[in-house]
Structure 1
Amino acid sequence: MRFRSMETSVKHDEGRGRFDLYADGKKGGYLTYEIYGGSLDIQHTVVEPEFRGKGLGEILLDAAVKYANKKGLKIVPSCSFAAKKLS
């Protein structure tokens, strides 16, 4: 199945441990994390129902992985989506 391309952006709120994803100007989902002991624990990845199946979860996960790498943090995927994608 092919999807039309959509404009996406990810905003990072370090203070809240959260990445918010916007698709075509609407909030499409979010990823939450916690940092402890040199690790970034990905706790939840949520994509709004209307945007599921379009790769937005992967966009959020990619943003978290890039951030963890930049900060030298090990990734702990507590979220089942992240655990599956990173295995």
Structure 2
Amino acid sequence: MIFKIDLLEALSIQADCTYLSDLKHLDGLRRARLVRALERVPPGAAELREWNDALEYLTGAQPRADAEQARAALITGLSAV
């Protein structure tokens, strides 16, 4: 049996969040750990839609044209806060 979880759900697990909405309220240390984890995730690990969903949900940024751009914008956006 194979289970696939959405990128946002995987990020909430990685950040040890009880609820998905907790991702929006990470302290600086947990946010930095999440950024480091994202840096190890290749763009092809999730669909473009998932990258853009995470980008918009966590940073409010507009969708990007490809997964690599969306991943990079997500990392940059999370690092800036």
* Greater fraction of residues in strand: 1
Higher relative contact order (CA 8 A, sep 6+): 2
> Into which bin does the TM-score normalised by the smaller protein fall?
0.3 to 0.5
**TM-score when normalising by structure 2:** 0.37
Structure number, greater radius of gyration: 1
**TM-score when normalising by structure 1:** 0.36
